[in-house]
Amino acid sequence: MHPTVSFATLLVALILFPSLSPAKLEPRGTAIRVPLKRGWPVTRSSGSADNLTPGLVNGRCLRAHLQRTANKYSSTFAAYQSNTGSPHPLAPPSAPLQENGDIWIGTISVGTPPQDFTVVFDTGSSDLLLPSVTCDSSCDGHSRYDPSQSSTSASLNKTFSLSYGGGSTAAGELYSDDVLIGGYEAINQTLGAATTYSAGFQAPTFGADGLLGLGFPQISVYGQPPVFQTLISDNAVSESLFGVAFELMVGAADTGMYNQSSMVFVSVSLQAYWQIPMDGLTRPGLNNSGEVVIANKTSYAQAIIDTGTTLIITSDANAQKYYADVPGAEVVPSLGSGVWSVPCDSIASILPTLSFGGHAFPVSTSTFNLGKVSDNSTNCITGLAGGGSDYWVIGDVFLQNVYTVFDIGNSRVGFAELA
């Protein structure tokens, strides 16, 4: 492990505007930083951002991510249908290949007295999942929630089961308890205490104890309000939004983190995921040929902004188009059918630029290069993968390059250049 940015302690910004009701928690305008540990399925050598000696991709970790997210999308699509009565317009006939990184990991406290857990803050799902004290050995290595040790815990007398590929599941019992996140308390929050964890959640490939979903209620597999909706209905916040960059703050926007005049907002297309239209995704042409356009405004590309995913994921056809003319580009079947590699020294010349709300945001070499395929390979894994569907899942490979605001109250996503 090197002290590079990929292993630095990063923070997610959660900016909540307290309500006009008596502030029972934190005084209005007080910023609270919640430290986050950041994981990444690659080991890297040091180097400057755009002249990085690539490290080695962590194949085992990446494969586990691929499995876990395939299942996240299939179970949240199913939840949407069961919660709203209609299929999600982006839902494929069968589960797409997806990929999931344990990127934004922070600590929450649950119950009275507080029990602490690390969770992945995941904008691509909407439920709170923790290992239960009664979990079998599949939860080994994780902290476990013990409702009997919490005076505010109540059983909802209901079981849950989250499907995760290969027939494995995370299943258990639903409870309500008080959840402390960044200085705000969600009273009687529904949480799932898992008595069994599927392979994708097991230590050490899953770097947190559980998952805290930051999506909309429509994709709650429990059919229950997610943590932020609880904060809103508790009047802990009247208007809420949270921002993701290098730190977590509650109660104020850290305007020092981003270039304010570059901030653009895009309305959420459908409240379920943080789904917005993407104006374009392009990369430079090789040999000074014109830029390669993979997605544009007319194609009305839909993008799901997902902090729980590492890569940028799209259809095989789009990925094929992206890499088609790059000499030496090839898929890496051992990591999943959609994963691509290119010669490490060509990465800097094929970096994607994503446009939202009329503003173009480039992706840096250091975030697009996931590391060498193997010790002796001269190819590196790239941050844009196929294996998905026509819509785009926009993960950390992009989100590390911008300041992202998830504005629940106005149902929109904001992006700004980092300061």
Q: Which residues are catalytic?
A: 122, 306
Q: What are phi and psi of 413, to 5 degrees?
A: -115, 135
With CA atoms as reference, report the closest residue to 413 among 216, 192, 222, 264: 264
- Is residue 408 within 8 A of residue 225, CB to CB? The reply is no
Query: Reduced to 3 states, what is the DSSP secondary structure of residue 109?
Result: strand
Smallest gap from Cβ 398 to ligand NAG, in A, equals 17
Which of 86, 94, 137, 157 touches ligand NAG (CB under 6 A)? 157
- Which amino acid would we find at residue 384? L
Smallest gap from Cβ 90 to ligand NAG, in A, equals 16
- Which amino acid would we find at residue 165? G
Under DSSP, the state recorded for 408 is T
Segment lying near ligand NAG (by CB under 6 A), choices 197-205, 237-245, 254-262, 389-397 = 254-262
CA distance 388 to 391: 8
- Is residue 247 within 8 A of residue 11, CB to CB? The reply is yes
Residue 134, interface with ligand NAG (CB under 6 A)? no
Smallest gap from Cβ 60 to ligand NAG, in A, equals 14
Smallest gap from Cβ 165 to ligand NAG, in A, equals 28
80 Cα distance to chain centroid: 18
CA distance 16 to 1: 34
Query: Among residues 50 and 291, whose Cβ is nearest to ligand NAG?
Result: 291
Query: Among residues 107 and 299, whose Cβ is nearest to ligand NAG?
Result: 299
Query: Reduced to 3 states, what is the DSSP secondary structure of residue 44?
Result: coil
Segment lying near ligand NAG (by CB under 6 A), choices 212-220, 294-302, 389-397, 401-409 = 294-302
Which of 299, 349, 410, 411 touches ligand NAG (CB under 6 A)? 299
Under DSSP, the state recorded for 141 is T
CA distance 214 to 237: 15
- Which amino acid would we find at residue 103? I
With CA atoms as reference, report the closest residue to 391 among 269, 263, 283, 308: 269
Torsion of CA 194, 199, 205, 210, to 10 degrees: -20
Residue 262, interface with ligand NAG (CB under 6 A)? yes
Residue 261, interface with ligand NAG (CB under 6 A)? yes
Segment lying near ligand NAG (by CB under 6 A), choices 75-83, 268-276, 296-304, 395-403 = 296-304
Radius of gyration of the chain (CA): 20
The two three-digit tokens of residue 120, written as one number = 């992945």
Query: Among residues 149 and 259, whose Cβ is nearest to ligand NAG?
Result: 259
Q: Describe the chain by its helix, strand, coil percentages, rounded to 5.
A: 20, 40, 45
CA distance 317 to 96: 13
Which of 8, 154, 317, 360 touches ligand NAG (CB under 6 A)? 154
Which of 81, 296, 346, 349 touches ligand NAG (CB under 6 A)? 296
* Interaction residues for ligand NAG, span 20-59 (CB under 6 A): none
Which of 317, 374, 378, 409 touches ligand NAG (CB under 6 A)? 374
Query: Among residues 146 and 417, whose Cβ is nearest to ligand NAG?
Result: 417
With CA atoms as reference, report the closest residue to 19 among 250, 290, 224, 235: 235
Smallest gap from Cβ 192 to ligand NAG, in A, equals 15
Residue 346, interface with ligand NAG (CB under 6 A)? no
Query: Among residues 137 and 157, whose Cβ is nearest to ligand NAG?
Result: 157
Smallest gap from Cβ 9 to ligand NAG, in A, equals 25
Which of 5, 187, 199, 203 touches ligand NAG (CB under 6 A)? 187
Residue 156, interface with ligand NAG (CB under 6 A)? yes
Residue 375, interface with ligand NAG (CB under 6 A)? yes
Query: Among residues 122 and 234, whose Cβ is nearest to ligand NAG?
Result: 234
Query: Reduced to 3 states, what is the DSSP secondary structure of residue 328?
Result: coil
With CA atoms as reference, report the closest residue to 191 among 213, 169, 167: 213
With CA atoms as reference, report the closest residue to 76 among 210, 209, 232, 271: 271
Residue 188, interface with ligand NAG (CB under 6 A)? yes
Residue 112, interface with ligand NAG (CB under 6 A)? no
Residue 317, interface with ligand NAG (CB under 6 A)? no
Smallest gap from Cβ 377 to ligand NAG, in A, equals 8
- Give residues in contact with ligand NAG (CB under 6 A): 154-157, 187-188, 259, 261-262, 286-287, 289, 293, 296, 298-299, 325, 327, 374-376, 417
